[in-house]
Chain A
Amino acid sequence: MFRKVLFSVAASLAMAVIVTTAVAYKVPDEIVLERPKGNEPLATWVKEVKFAHGFHAIRVPCQKCHHKESDKTLGEFVACRQCHSADNPKDKTGFYRAWHSEGAPSCLGCHTQRRAAGGDNPVGCTTACHKPG
């Protein structure tokens, strides 16, 4: 009997360790959205965006923004700029459009849609993302 209990405790402990290792990955709180190397900024006054990643991570499913990722790549998600790197603002998959196209996963698209549906999501260039200073 004692052996059985010991075994089940050990088994559940082992399971717990396996599960924690599987889901133990860091979800960054604040990240700076960096420009891909060699990409020229469109505007001279626009600074790097400090993105409240943690704030969004607890409100939106990861795959809503990391749209090419799956459960298999959990914890190894790549940065947006890895794919959305083109310089041209008119390029639909370029760096600029990654943040400024209609609808999710783009920041502006998601915010405008949620705002129109009654949300208080900020959309202003200088009030939402490109904050001065």
Chain B
Amino acid sequence: MPNSNRFDTLKMMAGTEKPSRRDFMKFCGTMAAFIGMGPAFAPKVAHALAGKKRPSVIYMHGAECTGCTEALLRAYQPYFDEIIMNTISLDYCETVMASAGQAAHAALEKAMKNPEGYVCVIEGGIPTYHGGEYGKVGGETMFQLFARVAAKANATIAMGSCACFGGIQAAAPNPSGAKGTNDALKAVGVNAINIAGCPPNPMNFVGTVVHLLTKGMPELDAWNRPKMFYGDTVHDHCPRQEHFNRGEFAPDFESDEAKKGWCLYQLGCKGPYTYNNCPTSLFNEVNWPVQAGAPCIGCSEPNFWDDYSPFFHPIEDGPET
């Protein structure tokens, strides 16, 4: 059961019990396998995560829906609170921090002065029109604030499709001029790792952080996404692929064919053009859209929304066909 050590975690947070070494090593083993290393790599993961100095992380929120944070909050192995308590030092995150207003902003400024440096995570698009006045935090535009924070960071991670490529914020007509992190902040030398998806699998984020801590920069694809997670298309590992190969396409969501688990290509599945690890890693190791009967909507691709909608029609076919 995924929740087996939940109570232990709460006890640990209350300071009554230390986390079990066995649970911790189990997580390290899982994570070593997830980032493509053998079980023998687990001690190295453990060493990096159990280091005395936890890496400082500043988590910025731009034009977004907080869905990526919500996904991360639901991460288990480790739970999000465990990540905060054991692995990283989350010094600024508007969603989960207790302080507000000037106190919160002071925490951000303090974290940015950390002599060890910090990792900057950006979630959400960055509005750029009219000097970026469509999004402000503490009186400063997101555009300016993110440029200031990300330019000084040791590494920047763009979390979610909005931060990677603009996402729904950048969909036509894009009134706020929203852009992805690398697009908007190229001028200040930011080259962020893109964890694409709407939302991305939280394990892809945790796996990238672990990779950065243990082996450094992961290998990236043409869109700066880590190849270990975004190397294959959704179609490549889809459990419904055998139906695609046999030409067995569900004509309707209500049809018997759909209930039998036939391929959803004619219902608009974008799996053949979408690079992500949904079918292999699953969301919280439980399920993923196609398994639940919904076609892939191509959420981890650049231009997601404009190029991949309408969702329930095959690509390049308009709604009238």
Interface residues, chain A, with chain B CB atoms under 8 Å away = 42-45, 89-90, 100, 102-103, 108, 112-113, 115-117, 122-128
Q: Is the CB of B316 within 8 A of A108?
A: no
Q: Is the CB of A100 within 8 A of B245?
A: no
Q: Which residues of B contact A90 (CB under 8 A)?
A: 236
Q: Which residues of A contact B221 (CB under 8 A)?
A: 102-103
Contacts A45-B247, A102-B231 given; indicate if A108 touches B273 (C-beta within 8 A). yes
User: In the complex, what's the smallest C-beta–C-beta distance from B316 to chain A, in angstroms?
Assistant: 4
Q: Which residues of A contact B303 (CB under 8 A)?
A: 115-116
A-B contact pairs, 29 of them (CB 8 A): A42-B245, A43-B244, A43-B246, A43-B247, A44-B245, A44-B246, A45-B246, A45-B247, A90-B236, A100-B233, A100-B272, A102-B222, A102-B275, A103-B221, A103-B222, A108-B272, A108-B273, A113-B222, A115-B307, A116-B223, A116-B301, A116-B302, A117-B302, A123-B316, A124-B314, A124-B316, A126-B314, A127-B317, A128-B316
Q: Which residues of A contact B244 (CB under 8 A)?
A: 43
A116, B315: Cα distance in complex, Å: 13
A44, B193: Cα distance in complex, Å: 39
Q: Which residues of B contact A126 (CB under 8 A)?
A: 314
A115, B315: Cα distance in complex, Å: 12
A126, B231: Cα distance in complex, Å: 23
A44, B244: Cα distance in complex, Å: 9
B282-321 CB mask vs A (1 if < 8 Å, else 0) is 0000000000000000000111000100000011110000
- The answer, yes or no, to whether B143 is at the interface (CB within 8 Å) is no
User: In the complex, what's the smallest C-beta–C-beta distance from B119 to chain A, in angstroms?
Assistant: 26
Extra A-B contacts (13), CB below 8 Å, given A102-B221, A102-B231: A43-B246, A44-B247, A45-B246, A100-B233, A100-B236, A100-B272, A108-B272, A108-B273, A113-B222, A116-B302, A123-B273, A127-B316, A127-B317
Q: Interface residue tally of chain B, by bracket?
A: 20 to 34
- The answer, yes or no, to whether B265 is at the interface (CB within 8 Å) is yes
User: In the complex, what's the smallest C-beta–C-beta distance from A116 to chain B, in angstroms?
Assistant: 4
Q: Which residues of A contact B223 (CB under 8 A)?
A: 116
User: In the complex, what's the smallest C-beta–C-beta distance from A28 to chain B, in angstroms?
Assistant: 26
Choose one: B245, B302, B314; the contact of A43 (CB below 8 Å). Answer: B245
Contacts A42-B245, A115-B307 given; indicate if A125 touches B265 (C-beta within 8 A). yes
Q: Which residues of B contact A108 (CB under 8 A)?
A: 272-273
Choose one: A89, A123, A124; the contact of B317 (CB below 8 Å). Answer: A124
User: In the complex, what's the smallest C-beta–C-beta distance from B196 to chain A, in angstroms?
Assistant: 11
CB nearest to B233 among chain A residues: A100
Q: Which residues of A contact B316 (CB under 8 A)?
A: 122-124, 127-128
Q: Which residues of A contact B236 (CB under 8 A)?
A: 89-90, 100
CB nearest to B244 among chain A residues: A43
A103, B275: Cα distance in complex, Å: 11
Q: Which residues of A contact B245 (CB under 8 A)?
A: 42-44
Q: Top 3 closest A-B pairs, CB basis?
A: A45-B247, A116-B302, A43-B245
Q: Is the CB of B301 within 8 A of A112?
A: yes
A66, B143: Cα distance in complex, Å: 43
User: In the complex, what's the smallest C-beta–C-beta distance from B278 to chain A, in angstroms?
Assistant: 16
B210-248 CB mask vs A (1 if < 8 Å, else 0) is 000000000001110000000101001000000011110
User: In the complex, what's the smallest C-beta–C-beta distance from A124 to chain B, in angstroms?
Assistant: 4
